[in-house]
Chain A
Amino acid sequence: MKKKLYLTLIPLAALSLFLAACGSSVAAGSWPGITYDETRSLVYVAYNQSVHALQIENGLERWKFPVEPQGGFATYAAPQLTEDGQLIIGGYNNTLYSLNPENGALNWPFAEAGNRYIGSALAIGKLIFAPNADQRLYILDGQGNLVNTFPTQDPQWGQPASDGSSVYLTSMDHFLYALDAQSGEELWKLDLEATIVGSPALGADGMLYIGTLDHTLFAVDAQSHREVWRMPTKGWVWATPLILGGQLIVGDLDGIFYGVDAASGVETWRVDTGGAITATPALFNDSLYIGNEAGRLFSISLDGRSRELALPEVYQGPYYSSPIVAGDLLLLGLTNNPSILVALDEAGSIVWSFPPAAGQPATP
């Protein structure tokens, strides 16, 4: 009988473990979103239950929001600064917040969305364009009042891009949309034939570059709103391409990192990094820096010669976040690591790192 009791209790214990493992409210849903504020010499990093504002010179925390963890609140999208000095962050609690970037004080919340804010908002002029997983783009004024919404057929995960007069929005419904930047009304749309997760990259010449999950990178002319070329890739393309003069740089989920001629869509070089790439590379010290899901970090020259960097083991982990250049530092977001941000100098040495549990930077 004892055996039977144990055999009944073991499944119940396993179920309890299941509850504990699946029910953790702090389990990460995404990776750190990083924004550098040159005016204030602050870097904002949104990850899990907080947004932290850190002093760029030493990584000291200036403030965090919320001050104490709030049930249901999580944030990952890179915070966005508006022209009038607000910091916009989107939450997984279906709420968009405006904060004072100096001290993290709440200006206003907007809680009318029906789902998570996964992509960053875009601030253009006096309007804020916030894509939401409830299949709507929320267009707000600077006081957090709803001005308009723009519906799509599927969730919107990518941050919109804008040239000032139009806003370019991607949706998982396969379409690229162009909206009027003043009213939010649709100007045109183009079917890219597969799910789009990432954001479009907009060139100074009015060309848009968008990756899809159907192993394709597209170039679209925003003036004629027609496809100019498409380039097949090995894996799904989630990352937003980096535009560098006449060259596009983009990675795919199969770990291939491509140099592409922006005019023709012809691949000029590739590097197999050996792990999924979700980030946009950063140009730092005349080299491209990109990390991948396998925890490998690369420095790649503009003609495709790669060099793998080795950070100390304690700073390894998947590199999903786009690296950010902040003056003479390169900021790397870390996922599944006690530190969520690492600052490197031009020599590749660690200047500081930020473990949120400590609230203070760790010395290398």
Chain B
Amino acid sequence: MFDFIIVPFTNALVFIYSLLGENFGLAIIVFTILVRVVTYPFNAQQMKSTRAMQELQTNPKYKAMQAKYKGKENREKLAKAQMELYQEMGINPLAGCLPTIIQIPLLISMYWAITRALAATPLQLLDLAKGISLPNAANLIPLNSHFLWMDLGQPERLFIPGIPIGIPVLAILVMVSSYFQSKMMTPTTGANDQAAGMGRMMSLYIPILMAYISYIYAAGLALYFVMSNILSIAQYYISRRPKPQAPATQGAISQGTK
């Protein structure tokens, strides 16, 4: 279904793998960074939208509106007034959803690209043979799927002497990082109980879902999740840093050139 994404993803992964000393773990990490760079404009838009929604909570007009249209019977009036306020403040409340929607085909394609590149079964190797266009592919296959303690083609577990079960370290990291990312990206909607409840539910549901996927699927996908979440959190905090004032910047430049 997403072959037009999966094939280039697979080729890119194998190409990066060949450049990085045939280390598939590093290839996934570098590839994740490249994906984040390409999708940066969408993510930046989402963060801008999230911040605007958060700032809205402290807006006196918004608070007054919430107080004025209390009760179920005023729900439509409240929604209309909110939309007018959004327009007045230049906020698109749906802007935050686009990056999430874009993530779905990327996620599915990444899963299949990792599976194809590692080609653990004959049908997967045939799929790889059809899609791969690197001239040295015949010498790279099979890709080395080992990274740290993990086999990136298998669900990840860390076995520690004395502990009878394997610990799903990556699944835990995915859950924790997804939780922080969801909390960051979910606007707190104050008086609107329904929306706030939905946001809280998503903050719990998404990390659990992501952790479950990481627990049962190839560790390579979980590594992609962890890296993607870490980069997203870092991007959020970097974008929140106050920008230096223009005069001060000019001063710094003039000092530096003396």
**Chain A residues proximal to chain B, CB less than 8 Å:** 1, 3-5, 7-8, 10-12, 14-15, 18-19, 22-23, 28-31, 76, 92, 116, 118, 133, 154-155, 157, 172, 174, 193-195, 197, 212-215, 236, 253, 276, 278, 293, 320
Residue pair B138, A30 in contact (C-beta under 8 Å): no
Dominant secondary structure of chain A at its interface with chain B: loop
Q: Which of B97, B122, B137, B139 contacts A29 (CB 8 A)?
A: B122
* With A19-B213, A155-B142, A213-B141: A30-B123 Cβ-Cβ less than 8 Å: yes
Is the beta-carbon distance between A8 and B138 smaller than 8 angstroms? no
Tell which of B104, B129, B205, B206 touches A276, judged by Cβ atoms closer than 8 Å.
B129
Name the distance in Å between A333's Cβ and chain B's nearest Cβ.
Answer: 13
* A157: contacting residue among B122, B139, B206, CB under 8 A: B122
Check A172 against B141 for contact (C-beta < 8 Å). Answer: yes
Which of B56-64, B170-178, B194-202, B242-250 forms part of the interface with chain A?
B194-202
| Interface CB pairs A-B, < 8 A, 17 | A1-B79, A4-B93, A7-B94, A14-B104, A15-B104, A18-B104, A18-B108, A29-B120, A76-B122, A116-B120, A193-B139, A195-B142, A213-B138, A215-B138, A236-B138, A278-B122, A293-B126
B120 contact set on A, CB distance < 8 A: 29, 116, 133
User: What CA separation (Å) do A212 and B216 show in the bound complex?
Assistant: 34
CA distance A172 to B142 in the complex (A): 7
Q: Are A4 and B94 in contact (CB under 8 A)?
A: yes
Q: Which residues of B contact A18 (CB under 8 A)?
A: 104, 107-108, 111
Q: Output the nearest chain B residue to A1 by Cβ-Cβ distance.
A: B195
Query: Please, which residues of chain A bring their CB within 8 A of the CB of B137?
Result: 213
Residue B121, interface by CB 8 Å: yes
**Contacting pair B107 A15 (CB below 8 A):** yes
Residues of B within 8 A of A11 (CB): 100-101, 103-104
* Chain A hits for B205, CB < 8 A: 12
- Tell me the smallest distance from the CB of A296 to a CB of chain B, in Å: 16
Chain A residues in 8 Å Cβ range of B202:
8
The binding surface of chain B is classed by DSSP as: helix
Taking CB atoms, residues of chain B closer than 8 Å to A30 are: 121-123
Q: Which of A22, A212, A213, A320 contacts B217 (CB 8 A)?
A: A22
Task: Name the residue on B nearest A76 (C-beta).
Answer: B122
Residues in B with CB closer than 8 Å to A278 are 122, 126
Taking CB as reference atom, which chain B residue is nearest A336?
B123
Q: Which residues of B contact A174 (CB under 8 A)?
A: 139
Residue B125 interfacial (CB < 8 Å):
yes
Contacts of B121 in A (CB 8 A): 29-30, 92, 116, 118
Q: Which residue of B lies closest to A13 (CB)?
A: B104
Given known A-B contacts A19-B213, A118-B121, A133-B120, A154 and B142 have beta carbons under 8 A apart: yes
Closest to B130 in A: A276
Assembly CA distance A116 to B129 (angstroms):
21
Q: Which of B33-56 contact A (CB under 8 A)?
A: none
Per a CB cutoff under 8 Å, which of B111, B141, B209 touches A22? B111
Query: Which residues from A are CB-within-8-Å of B100?
Result: 7-8, 11
Most chain A CB atoms below 10 A, which of B94, B111, B122, B194? B122
The 8 A CB mask of B135-165 against A (1 = contact, 0 = none) is 0011101100000000000000000000000
* Contact A12–B101 (Cβ < 8 Å): no
CA distance A195 to B103 in the complex (A): 35
Residue pair B97, A4 in contact (C-beta under 8 Å):
yes
Q: Give the residues in chain A near B138, CB-CB below 8 Å.
A: 194-195, 212-215, 236
- Does B23 touch A at the CB level, under 8 Å? no
Query: By CB atoms of chain A within 10 A, which of B94, B126, B192 has the most?
Result: B126
Alpha-carbon distance between A12 and B97 when the two chains are bound, in angstroms: 12
CB distance from B17 to the nearest CB of A (A): 15
Min Cβ gap B85→A in Å is: 14
